Amino acid sequence: MPILFAVHLSDGALSTAWWASGFAGLAVMLAVAMYAVREEEIPRIGVLTAAFFVASSIHLPLVVVPTSVHLILNGLVGVVLGRRAPLAVAVGLFLQYRLVGHGGLTTIGINACIVGVPALAAGALYPLLRKARVPAFARGVLLGGGAVAGAVALNFLALLLGGKENWERLAQLVLLAHVPVVIIEGLMLGVLVSYLEKVKPEMLGDRRGAAR
């Protein structure tokens, strides 16, 4: 049986049309992300890729059900990397599959879309919220928690609409199980955004605007 209690779907969970469409979506995101990448951006992308990869090993045990969930950090990746976020997500997912057996080979594309689309949304919304003078901590909470919630919602839809079997009950459990992750990552990014805007603001909105 495929492992489904995470936002990284494994082989055998989805129909062929869905995982194939995932690769098509990933190709589009990577084409946009790789356009005009500058040499000075590569170290930053590498660091965020490593952070995204390591996050999968930080598991949070659940009390209600006998399993655990893990951090995702797609909000952080999106806010720092902007449109480059799919690069970190795609490489991180491939490493997670190859090194720790997390996810699946056929589902790398759909998993990258599930995690990467909310990351791109967080990156796009960050300067808008900043321009609207939303406080730094509140911005981080909204985007960190929102990116995770978005990934979980997309995962829910993929299981519900594209599953090889009827995963409706399991998809609902996945939604509930990730509520603690939404809260934790929201608070984490809130603290990080508040800190970075004071000591290294170029890592956030100003730098991303230059990259575009």
User: Please, what are the domains in the chain?
Assistant: 16-211 (1.10.1760.20)
- Per-residue pLDDT tens digits for 14-64: 999 999 999 999 999 999 999 999 999 999 999 999 999 998 777 666 555
58-87 burial code (b ≥16 CB/10 A, e <16): eeeebeeeeeebbbbbbbbbbbbbbbbbbb
State pLDDT tens for residues 99-153. Answer: 888 888 999 999 999 999 999 999 999 999 999 999 999 999 999 999 999 999 9
Rounded to two decimals, what is the model's pTM? Answer: 0.89
Distance between CA atoms of 23 and 200, rounded to whole angstroms? Answer: 35
In whole angstroms, how far apart are CA 149 and each of 38, 102, 126, 133, 139? 31, 20, 16, 23, 15
Give the contacts of 78 (CB within 8 A, at least 6 positions apart).
85, 118, 119, 120, 121, 122, 123, 126, 143, 147
